[in-house]
Amino acid sequence: MLLVTLVAAFIVVFVLLLYMISPLISPKPLKLNGAHVVVTGGSSGIGKCIAMECYKHGAFITLVARDEHKLVQAKKEVEKCAINDKQVVLCISVDVSKGYNQVESVIKQAQEKLGPVDMLVNCAGMSISGTFEEVGVDRRWVKLMEVNYLGSVYPTRAVITTMKERRMGRIMFVSSQAGLIGLFGYTAYSPSKFALRGLAEALQMEMKPYNIYVTVAYPPDTDTPGFAEENKTKPLETRLISETSGVCQPEQVAKVVVKDALQGNFTSAVGPDGYMLSALTCGMSPVTSITEGLQQIVTMGLFRTIALFYLGSFDSIVRHCMIQREQSKAADKRE
């Protein structure tokens, strides 16, 4: 009995100690009032909502996207969120996947007008769903890596030197829950989102001494124009698996990921499924507080148990669809 009491007392003291020293290793939150935030893919969806959320905090915004018409419309929506008459929204049309020189040029242009970039949000992205054989080995695989991966590498490279000189900054990579778990129909898409995590982990280790913090956001299916377009060609199996998690609104996602980026959190997950996945797959990812690390240690076993039930359900969906498809083919042959 005495041993149990001593162990319990030790755990309590240990946890209290963690909470006490946690603020000492956590980054100082970034203030957005007067800060310059660049958002790629900012003309619609999650990117636009992130820009609006930052504007509500008093930031100056540079929206970067390909479609000039959509940029103009997004600018009007963002401007409605102003909290003072000094705020500015700058729009720049460029394809961030087309090469570093173009991206570097527009980032310099934005910094000349609105000052050094305090926070970069890499939200430009696209999705292609389909089985491994259906997608085929063609230009689409290259396009996904160019947009989803290199489209984040180029803007980050363009702002990182100035951030290091100023000893401050935030960089966000908007990945996906498909960047935490590979699912049926995402053999082309998931790798391009998984790649962002590898980049972010290595970059965070390089940038932490300069007070620059990296955040990787893993939003679930979100009600955006891109999601609607993806659903047009999404395989049945992928759609059924996705429906187990529901669909989030972009405004909800924006609030969560902006808050995490300002706090300097490495991982930003939305909803209970997102939290479970991020904790379950944390591996060697950096943490910004001892409390976060302790939570991951405590919940790992439980989350793995829950995940096994999910995986069993997903496998069942895939098998059921395969059987239905084969029965349909057999019926067509008989006819």
**Cα separation of 246 and 197, whole Å?**
24
pLDDT at 139: 79
Which burial class, exposed, middle or buried, applies to 159 when counting CB atoms under 10 A from its CB (0-12, 13-18, 19+)? buried
How, if at all, do strands 89-93 and 60-65 pair? parallel
Higher pLDDT, 231 or 213: 213
Q: What are phi and psi of 41, to 5 degrees?
A: 65, 30
pLDDT at 219: 95
pLDDT at 325: 86
What order of strands is seen across the sheet that includes strand 267-269? 89-93, 60-65, 36-40, 119-122, 169-174, 212-218, 267-269
User: Does the active-site annotation cover 313?
Assistant: no
Which of these is catalytic: 149, 189, 213, 218? 189
Q: What is the pLDDT of residues 275-332, one digit of tens each?
A: 999 999 998 999 888 888 888 888 989 999 999 999 999 999 999 999 988 888 777 7
Which of these is catalytic: 48, 70, 75, 193? 193
Dihedral sign, Cα of residue 264, residue 279, residue 225, residue 124: positive
**Cα separation of 27 and 15, whole Å?**
20
Q: What is the pLDDT of residues 137-178, one digit of tens each?
A: 777 889 999 999 999 999 999 999 999 999 999 999 999 999
Please check the confidence at residue 106 and state whether its pLDDT lies above 80.
yes
Please check the confidence at residue 48 and state whether its pLDDT lies above 80.
yes
Q: What are phi and psi of 85, to 5 degrees?
A: -85, 5
The token duo for 333 is 């042959």
Closest to 189 in 3D by CA, of 155, 229, 154: 229
Dihedral sign, Cα of residue 181, residue 184, residue 187, residue 190: negative
pLDDT at 327: 84
Residue type, 203: L
Q: What is the pLDDT of residues 254-273, one digit of tens each?
A: 999 999 999 999 999 998 99
pLDDT at 136: 75
**Cα separation of 321 and 315, whole Å?**
10
The token duo for 183 is 């699912």
User: Does the active-site annotation cover 232?
Assistant: no
pLDDT tier at 95, thresholds 50, 70, 90:
very high
Residues whose CB falls within 8 Å of the CB of residue 41, separated by 6 or more in sequence, listed in order: 47, 64, 65, 96, 122, 123, 124, 125, 174
Residue type, 116: P
Q: What is the pLDDT of residues 49-94, one digit of tens each?
A: 999 999 999 999 999 999 999 999 999 999 999 999 999 999 999 9
- Structural domains present in the chain: 30-271 (3.40.50.720)
Mean of per-residue pLDDT scores for the chain: 90
User: Does the active-site annotation cover 218?
Assistant: no
**Is the separation of the CB atoms in 35 and 14 below 8 Å?**
no
Virtual torsion, Cα 299, 304, 309, 315, nearest 10 deg: 140
Q: How many CA atoms lie within 13 A of 331 on its CB side?
A: 6
The C-alpha angle with vertex 206 and arms to 65 and 114, in degrees rounded to 5, equals: 35
pLDDT at 18: 54
pLDDT at 10: 64
pLDDT at 138: 75
The token duo for 302 is 């439980």
Please check the confidence at residue 23 and state whether its pLDDT lies above 60.
no
Which of these is catalytic: 44, 127, 175, 242? 175
Q: What is the pLDDT of residues 221-239, one digit of tens each?
A: 998 888 888 888 899 999 9
211-to-52, 163, 170, 264 alpha-carbon distances in Å: 25, 9, 9, 10
